[in-house]
Amino acid sequence: MSNTLNGLVALVTGASSGIGEATALALSAEGARVAVAARRADRLESLARKAPDEMLALDLDVTDQESVRAAVAATVERFGALDVLVNNAGVMLNGPILGADITQWTRMVETNLLGSMYMVHASLPHLLERGGTIVQVSSTSGRIASAYSGVYSATKFGIAAFSESLRQEVTTRGVRVVVVEPGFVATELTSHNTDPTMVAAAQEMAASMRTLRSEDIANAVVYAVTQPEHVAVNEILIRPTDQTR
Ligand SMILES: NC(=O)c1ccc[n+]([C@@H]2O[C@H](COP(=O)([O-])OP(=O)(O)OC[C@H]3O[C@@H](n4cnc5c(N)ncnc54)[C@H](OP(=O)(O)O)[C@@H]3O)[C@@H](O)[C@H]2O)c1
């Protein structure tokens, strides 16, 4: 086990599965003390049992400002600081704009965009104290919009805009902002879609290529957060080799 993050404290949102879970484990393997946060407490408890070092499991709904403030406060209370925020929680509920169930749009904007902003708002004072790092999990959909993912893309384009403003406001105060933009990663993400055509399209896409694994994204996060303090890796676009767009 390496210890490049020894003594540092990380908070990972959406750590109950997929990219968040893998990233929490990778940061822990590098020596960080990690708070893992999401709504499915049972999944977080089993993750904490797998970790090489102590993890703090936190009940978090990023759409709820009070829950966000409480998770950040609990992390700082338990570990004494916050050095790395991995802002990863997200949902993708794709489908055509015409006739869409608008409640799914609200859910995506509240989770992916507003929730991610609330996390930054609550964490920033602590990150400024220690010269911390904010990892914003966006997507290739935050760079290129496609049919049937208009709202998801809008949330990820929004993350890019917010992150660039944030970077300009805090970088000379020692806080680094990293936007990670994965292509297709094999996770539960597409399984929450309620449109069977979209689920089938995702399955077909997965079968057509060697998809990324959550660990591939976790490695990219570790790379960014373990750079020397004067190096800010601001953006990582990472696709499966077989993915064209
Ligand atoms: N998979 C891909 O191909 C891909 C590509 C590009 C970007 N991404 C992004 O990567 C991030 C992680 O997704 P994933 O692929 O790892 O999918 P996933 O396995 O479905 O993970 C999503 C995570 O978000 C959490 N979450 C959802 N709503 C939440 C809420 N209201 N409050 C707190 N946590 C919430 C979920 O936990 P609970 O349900 O337990 O709360 C879960 O841990 C997302 O932002 C996604 O947009 C994924």
pLDDT above 70: residue 1: no
SS3 139: coil
The single residue listed with the structure tokens 């704009």 is: 97
Q: Which of 155, 87, 151 is nearest to 118 (CA)?
A: 87
Among candidate residues 19, 16, 15, the one with its CA nearest the CA of residue 238: 19
pLDDT value at residue 73: 98
CB 226 within 8 A of CB 4: yes
Mutational test site, ligand 1, from 13, 189, 215, max ligand atoms within 8 Å of CB = 189
Residues 136-184 pLDDT 10s:
999 999 999 999 999 999 999 999 999 999 999 999 999 999 999 999 9
Name the region of 143 (left: φ>0; alpha: ψ -120 to 50; beta: rest): alpha
User: Is the pLDDT assigned to residue 116 strictly greater than 70?
Assistant: yes
For residues 26 and 169, give the distance between their C-alpha atoms in angstroms, rounded to a whole number: 29
Question: pLDDT, tens digit, for every residue of 154-166?
Answer: 999 999 999 999 9
Would you say the CB of residue 182 lies under 6 angstroms from ligand 1? yes
Quote the tokens at residue 202: 């995702």
Give how far Cα 244 sits from Cα of 49, 205, 210, 211, 216, Å.
38, 11, 12, 12, 18
- Domains within the chain, CATH numbers bracketed: 9-238 (3.40.50.720)
pLDDT band for 53, please (50, 70, 90 cuts).
confident
End-to-end CA separation in angstroms for the chain: 36
pLDDT at 92: 98
- The residue whose C-alpha atom lies closest to atom 45 belonging to ligand 1 is 90
Name the pTM for this structure. 0.98
Question: For the chain, what is the mean pLDDT?
Answer: 96
Please give the average per-residue pLDDT across 69-95, as a whole number: 98
CA-nearest of 69, 174, 170 to 130 is 174
Quote the tokens at residue 58. Answer: 């936190």
Kindly state the percentage of the chain with pLDDT values over 70.
99
Task: Measure 212 CA to ligand 1 centroid, in angstroms.
Answer: 15
Q: Which whole number is the average pLDDT over 49-63? A: 93
Which 8-state DSSP code applies to residue 172? G
Distance CA 77, CA 180 (A): 28
Q: How far is the CA of 102 from the centre of ligand 1 (A)?
A: 20
Phi–psi pair at 180, nearest 5 degrees? -110, 130
pLDDT band for position 100 (cuts 50, 70, 90): very high
Predicted confidence at residue 235, as pLDDT, reads: 98
Residue nearest to atom 23 of ligand 1 (CA): 14
pLDDT digits (tens, 9 = 90+) for 39-51: 999 999 999 998 8
* 94 CB within 6 A, ligand 1: no
- pLDDT confidence bin for 54, thresholds 50/70/90: confident
CA 5/CA 174 separation, integer angstroms? 17
